[in-house]
Structure 1
Amino acid sequence: MWRGKARGLSFLKIWGCEAYVKRLISDKLAPKSDKEKEFLSKIKSGRKIELHEVREPPDHSVTAGIQQEPDTLEAEASLQVNESEVVAIAPHGDILILESGEPETYKEALESEDSCKWLEAMKSEIDSIYENQLWDLVDMPDNIKPIKHKQVYKIKTDMDEKPSVLKARLVGNGFTQIHGVNYEETFSPVAMLKSIGIILVIAAFHDYEIWQMDVKTTFLNGILEEEVYMTQPKGFEDLKNIGKVWKLNKAIYGLKQASRSWNLRFNQVIKEFGFIRNEEEYCVYKKVSGSKIAFLVLYVDDILFIGNDIPMLESVKTYLGNNFSMKDLGEAQYILGIKIYRDRPRILIGLSQSTYIDKVLAKFNMQNSKKGFVPMSHGISLSKTQSPSTPGFNPTLERNIGLQSAAKNILKYLHITTEKFLVYGEENELVVKGYTDAKAEYIAASEAAKEVVWIKKFITELGVVLSIDNPVDLYCDNNGAIAKA
């Protein structure tokens, strides 16, 4: 925001001036950018042009004979220009740079080549809001300032990172809310990854069904306890009541209390169907009926159904579908960036993060790097002084080289693990065991013991692992730590 004094305009460039385009691939001796003969001309106004149309072929004469290192780690990956980025010149002469075809504003959505699809996505969002009876159109009360909003556009991808659907989300500017006026509590729990892992192992051992559902327009289900007013969405105003505002009855994305409102609503609804919340993990629920048992795990809008009776699980799905707009995903295959592979005859379940790892490697240009066998090389010493102490501060190369080397080693190690799985199963009995190994052995053993206490309480409430009543073995390879314990 500009405050205090007028902003200078020296950074603006005229049409026809020299411009520079960042090279996608460069080496240590070559320039980082290519100079263009002429910037974009207004003659081409009104059409979309690809980035290569305004880029000169790079001059490789300086770098002849020099081999580029394949595992170069980009320090500022967010500044890298991808081939998927395009430059669009709007009819009025503005230049829009769009990444992956996702508009940043309502205007950009209307001027993009997929404008019809984005309009349809926005209409679908407004229809969902209307169906949920989210708002009442009212006159603006005195001394109350309504919050504003924006449309957030996203191209959703599947587990293989391929575009699947265009989504538009109406998001309130929650950062303008005032504590004690239009919001109070904001905390909302989510299921921990270790809890999900434990339940998946139990499901594999007992051969339980593992199903998955997705809640559509999740936060629109939360009921607001505070009075929140919002301006009418751009492009969907009531022309007969243009001066009125929305009084929100339910939460909307972007509000500070949106996640908490949804969690409270879901907790109320699922308990009415006979589920009991796990006191050690607030997003895990259990329902028992004779020999039938069902578990439910909630992570924001992702729900796992696990149980030994298909009709019972079907009844839970039907009940939730009557209360919320749901999408049935069938047997669970992908959750929180983790692929789930199951071999039921052998009582095995495998978890893989290959898609997520590939995404991280591509972000830092390490997808073609050498594969590493250890995550950390021996002898590397890291400290807080190697990290930026203030925003915008860049450590010198001498201070940062150790940190950069350590980061590259971790990414190389991740590269070799993309095809590996964390596999559970082939055990005659479910038994919790602990292992600890670190430089500070006694401290590590102490932290592991705390984790064991929590795991025992959590699994005890699940009620399906009989061995949890027995003492848990915690293995440590340091005699000093064992003696001190």
Structure 2
Amino acid sequence: MAERQFNTKLKRVQSDWGGEFRTLAPFLSSLGIIHQRSCPHTSEQNGIVERRHRHVVETGLTLLAHSNTPQRFWDFAFETAVYLINRMPSRTNSNKSPFECLFHRPPDYSFLRVFGCECFPYLRPYNPHKMDFRSTSCVFLGYSLIHHGYRCLDLQTDRIYIARHVRFNEHIFPFNPPDTATLPADSSPYYSSYPTPPPPNCEPSFVPFPITEPVNQPVTEPVQQTASVPITDPLPDPNSCSSVSTDPPNSVEPSSFTVANKSPEWRKAMAEEFDALVRNGTWSLVPCAKNTNVIDSKWVYRIKRDANGNVTRYKARLVAKGFNQKPGIDYQETFSPVVKATTIRVLLSLAVTNQWSLRQLDVQNAFLHGELKETVYLRQPRGFIDASKPDHVCLLHKSLYGLKQAPRAWFERLTNTLHHLGFTGSKTDPSLFILNNGGTLVYVLIYVDDIIVTGNNINAINNVIANLGTSFAVKDLGDLHYFLGIEVIRHGSNLILSQQKYISDLIQKAGLSDCKAVPSPMSTSQILSSNDSPTLADPTRYRQIVGALQYASLSRPDITFAVNKVCQYMHTPTENHWSAVKRILRYLKGTSHFGLFIRHGSGSTLHAFTEVNWNSTLRAFSDADWAGCPDDRRSTGGFAIYLGSNLISWNARKQRTVSRSSTESEYKAMADTVAELTWLEALLQELGIVSTVTPTLWCDNLGATYLSANPVFHARTKHVECDYHFVREKVSKGKLQVKFISTHDQLADVFTKPLPTQRFLMLRSKLQVVPRPQLAGG
């Protein structure tokens, strides 16, 4: 940069003994530049740079602290610090700034703004519709490195706009609590950047540290320096593309009470919630006693949407700040069970097979029905303070969202109600309740305030719903169609579980809406390891996307192995790992309309299903990839379990210990599969489903198959932990059959390793993952 911009030949480069500089030695040597390094642990030999580094760090941290900006934006603060330091006059430079010393002219200070303040970039070119807003509230994060504009962070979408035309409110800091972000009465809040001339073309943003853009960044049309169109840039990964939301007004969830209170829809939602709390007798106003722990609260806003993404309700919820509760005083026990995804699929499979009715209920303000055993005080909610008793506090009688004990209190209340109606709680899954009365079966499945009811008697189902309605504000949503973000689609006598809306939103959030689809979620040529490429500067985006992909795998077993693989690098993800995540998203882009098919009928194309009473028969496939991890040589095991022809349980997981042979790794995988089979048998027994056919486990390793029935190869396998040998115990008691299956027919192969495209597609169809168009016509 110095040679290009100032026609000055570099002769010597001084640095410390850092390993990151050693790779520069061949490059500098080829140019004839002497690379002089300070002695190890002798920082004073590089004192000027060390002092400048300290100046940058202290200034950057001050910017973060002043605006209360989270530390994950430290890189923007430090870049802004360098930008400001280069324009600050110094006595050592005769009261001139480094910029003026370099360019022989004073810098333009009218371009400077307060870091972390509220700003409003001009977005009309990206929002061409006349009903769209011209701008949106953002946070100022400094100055662009490659454009003559400002960085503006949209807190609603987590995207950065780089815009030239921006209005600033330099007294408001969005990351500050609302009470501290006040505006002086005598101040003029808004400053416009419109008349400010752009900096000269020859002016570098950061003199000491020239920044080079990543070479793999997607390149678009060249940006004109006079353009006023804001440029979107995703946060924090620079390799993703982004898009500007064009949702109608009030379709974005507000992040604070101040913003929500400006909208009539959200004001109505808050009033409805407050009225419900009062009608429920949630609290009573009492004087605030001394030395009392009073918990604060906040409003949380959510937009309820249907499976197509249409807005169905604006929901405001008052949430207690439970993190201020003191254990042993404000709460005791907090555990509350959560329904297992496998239980849901088992219940749906039974309902489809027997053609039972599937009903869906929603308990309004569910947590408010829980009764508290402790004495808890809450400040009056913002916007609804009693004018006659402003100093009083709320003594809680009922539970409230956000309290540590709220989930447990609600579950105990609902459990007691169901027991009173004759239900029995399941021992295998505490969220499942069973009513078995003289051949009448009714099942109730609970996930917080969402309830599924099914059974073999429609009148009994209606009676249960009516009885629940007498105790709670229950909304009967009719036939099951949307549960936990999963769309339940009826096709004749069959069902398909789809997360198309969820996957589409995830792809858009990752900035890959315009990406090219790929036929498989993982390439056979890509081997992931811990140190295969440079680590990501900010792993936040990686962790968010991978966590969301885990939820998508609830109805998509075809991505389970790939998601499990990228989950192993959550601690320190690298660029190569991020590429693997993007490939999964690209695969989902082309298959977002796929879902898990739950079949009714007696037909099956699976090798294992030949018995007459296959509908209630458990069949399992187990496989392992021996020493597949290049970092620790641990194996990956996986299984797929079917009830009849319907896939109900699957898993892919790296084994906890290293295996010394393929037989050992396969045997460990078998043990995990048998544990799941044992649990499923107990669940089906509680549901009243009994099969006369012994469950069968299919394995493609002869050694592991022989070992399950006979103590062969004992000398080479005696070091295997004893708990794995319960497989042999199951076989010896006649409770399990272990059979050999060829590798070509091994369905669990898709859960242990990346596969060629044709084999992956074949196994995907065996997993009953199919697109909606293929369901047309049966």
Q: What TM-score bracket applies, with the shorter chain setting the length?
A: 0.7 to 0.9
> Per-residue deviation at 1:393?
12
CA contact (8 A) 2:336 2:407 kept: yes
SS of 2:347 mapped into structure 1: helix
Cα distance in 2 for partners of 1:33, 1:234 equals 32
Aligned residue in 2 for 1:145: 293
Q: Match of 1:348, as an amino acid? A: N
Aligned residue in 1 for 2:620: 434
CA contact (8 A) 1:102 1:155 kept: yes
Q: Cα–Cα, structure 1 residues 389 and 228, in superposed 2: closer, same or farther, change >3 Å?
A: farther
Cα distance in 1 for partners of 2:411, 2:222 equals 61
Whether 2:356 is the aligned partner of 1:221: answer no
CA contact (8 A) 2:240 2:511 kept: no
Whether 2:705 is the aligned partner of 1:482: answer yes
CA contact (8 A) 2:242 2:512 kept: no
SS of 2:376 mapped into structure 1: strand
> Per-residue deviation at 1:80?
5.8
Aligned residue in 1 for 2:598: 424
SS of 1:227 mapped into structure 2: coil
Whether 2:501 is the aligned partner of 1:355: answer yes
Q: Cα–Cα, structure 1 residues 77 and 84, in superposed 2: closer, same or farther, change >3 Å?
A: farther
Whether 2:673 is the aligned partner of 1:448: answer yes
SS of 1:235 mapped into structure 2: coil
SS of 2:359 mapped into structure 1: strand
- Which runs of no fewer than 5 residues in structure 2 stay unpaired? 1-60, 68-76, 85-108, 114-118, 127-144, 148-159, 171-187, 193-197, 199-219, 225-233, 543-568, 603-612, 626-634, 636-665, 709-778
Q: Cα–Cα, structure 1 residues 36 and 30, in superposed 2: closer, same or farther, change >3 Å?
A: closer
Whether 2:419 is the aligned partner of 1:257: answer no
Q: Cα–Cα, structure 1 residues 343 and 158, in superposed 2: closer, same or farther, change >3 Å?
A: closer
User: Which of 453, 461, 477 in structure 1 is aligned with 2:686?
Assistant: 461
Aligned residue in 1 for 2:339: 191
Q: Which moved more, 1:175-184 or 1:237-246?
A: 237-246
CA contact (8 A) 2:536 2:574 kept: no
Aligned residue in 1 for 2:32: none
Cα distance in 2 for partners of 1:178, 1:118 equals 32
CA contact (8 A) 2:428 2:682 kept: yes
Q: Match of 2:503, as an amino acid? A: I
SS of 2:403 mapped into structure 1: coil
SS of 2:462 mapped into structure 1: helix
TM-score, L = length of structure 1 = 0.80
Structure with the bigger percentage of strand: 1
Deviations 1:231-263, CA, capped at 9 Å, x for gaps? 111221222222111110111011111111111
CA contact (8 A) 2:453 2:461 kept: yes
CA RMSD in angstroms, aligned pairs only: 4.0
Deviations 1:103-135, CA, capped at 9 Å, x for gaps? 22222222x3x2x22221111101111111111
CA contact (8 A) 1:152 1:170 kept: yes
> Per-residue deviation at 1:40?
4.5
Deviations 1:186-231, CA, capped at 9 Å, x for gaps? 1110111110000100011111110001010111011111110001
Cα distance in 2 for partners of 1:79, 1:377 equals 22
Q: Cα–Cα, structure 1 residues 436 and 274, in superposed 2: closer, same or farther, change >3 Å?
A: same
Deviations 1:126-179, CA, capped at 9 Å, x for gaps? 111111111121122331120001111222211111222111111101011111
CA contact (8 A) 1:219 1:258 kept: yes
Q: Cα–Cα, structure 1 residues 77 and 281, in superposed 2: closer, same or farther, change >3 Å?
A: farther
Whether 2:467 is the aligned partner of 1:319: answer yes
Cα distance in 2 for partners of 1:22, 1:475 equals 62
Deviations 1:56-94, CA, capped at 9 Å, x for gaps? 9xx94469xxxxxxxx997379996733599xxxxxxxx
Larger Rg: 2
SS of 1:341 mapped into structure 2: strand
Cα distance in 2 for partners of 1:478, 1:309 equals 45
CA contact (8 A) 2:236 2:538 kept: no
Deviations 1:420-442, CA, capped at 9 Å, x for gaps? 23222222532111112230433
Q: Cα–Cα, structure 1 residues 282 and 38, in superposed 2: closer, same or farther, change >3 Å?
A: closer
Q: Cα–Cα, structure 1 residues 453 and 60, in superposed 2: closer, same or farther, change >3 Å?
A: same
Aligned residue in 2 for 1:267: 415
> Per-residue deviation at 1:17?
4.9
CA contact (8 A) 1:340 1:350 kept: yes
User: Which of 251, 259, 274 in structure 2 is aligned with 1:108?
Assistant: 259
Cα distance in 2 for partners of 1:337, 1:184 equals 32
> Per-residue deviation at 1:384?
4.4
Cα distance in 1 for partners of 2:618, 2:518 equals 31
Q: Cα–Cα, structure 1 residues 408 and 484, in superposed 2: closer, same or farther, change >3 Å?
A: farther
CA contact (8 A) 1:22 1:81 kept: no
Whether 2:516 is the aligned partner of 1:370: answer yes
Aligned residue in 1 for 2:383: 235
User: Which of 456, 459, 473 in structure 1 is aligned with 2:696?
Assistant: 473
Aligned residue in 2 for 1:36: 164
Cα distance in 2 for partners of 1:365, 1:21 equals 20
> Per-residue deviation at 1:15?
8.7
Aligned residue in 2 for 1:414: 588
> Per-residue deviation at 1:412?
2.1
Q: Cα–Cα, structure 1 residues 375 and 99, in superposed 2: closer, same or farther, change >3 Å?
A: farther
CA contact (8 A) 2:356 2:454 kept: yes
> Per-residue deviation at 1:336?
1.3
> Per-residue deviation at 1:389?
11
Cα distance in 2 for partners of 1:378, 1:350 equals 29
Aligned residue in 2 for 1:52: none
Deviations 1:22-61, CA, capped at 9 Å, x for gaps? 9999xxx98596451553589xx999x9xxxxxx9xx944
Cα distance in 1 for partners of 2:489, 2:455 equals 18
Whether 2:498 is the aligned partner of 1:336: answer no
User: Which of 572, 579, 582 in structure 2 is aligned with 1:405?
Assistant: 579
Cα distance in 2 for partners of 1:184, 1:240 equals 34
Cα distance in 1 for partners of 2:235, 2:189 equals 38
Q: Cα–Cα, structure 1 residues 163 and 46, in superposed 2: closer, same or farther, change >3 Å?
A: farther
Mapping of residues 274-289 of structure 1, within 5 Å: 274-289=422-437
Q: Match of 2:482, as an amino acid? A: Y
CA contact (8 A) 2:121 2:166 kept: no
CA contact (8 A) 1:154 1:167 kept: yes
> Per-residue deviation at 1:356?
1.6
SS of 1:75 mapped into structure 2: coil
Cα distance in 2 for partners of 1:297, 1:367 equals 36
Whether 2:237 is the aligned partner of 1:75: answer yes
Q: Cα–Cα, structure 1 residues 34 and 208, in superposed 2: closer, same or farther, change >3 Å?
A: closer
- Which runs of no fewer than 5 residues in structure 1 stay unpaired? 50-55, 64-71, 87-97
SS of 1:224 mapped into structure 2: coil
Q: Cα–Cα, structure 1 residues 284 and 399, in superposed 2: closer, same or farther, change >3 Å?
A: closer
Aligned residue in 1 for 2:204: none
SS of 1:239 mapped into structure 2: coil
Mapping of residues 79-94 of structure 1, within 5 Å: 82-84=244-246
CA contact (8 A) 2:295 2:324 kept: yes
Q: Cα–Cα, structure 1 residues 133 and 20, in superposed 2: closer, same or farther, change >3 Å?
A: closer
CA contact (8 A) 2:426 2:686 kept: yes
Percent pairwise identity: 31
Aligned residues: 443
Cα distance in 1 for partners of 2:298, 2:223 equals 48
> Per-residue deviation at 1:388?
6.9
Cα distance in 2 for partners of 1:77, 1:389 equals 12
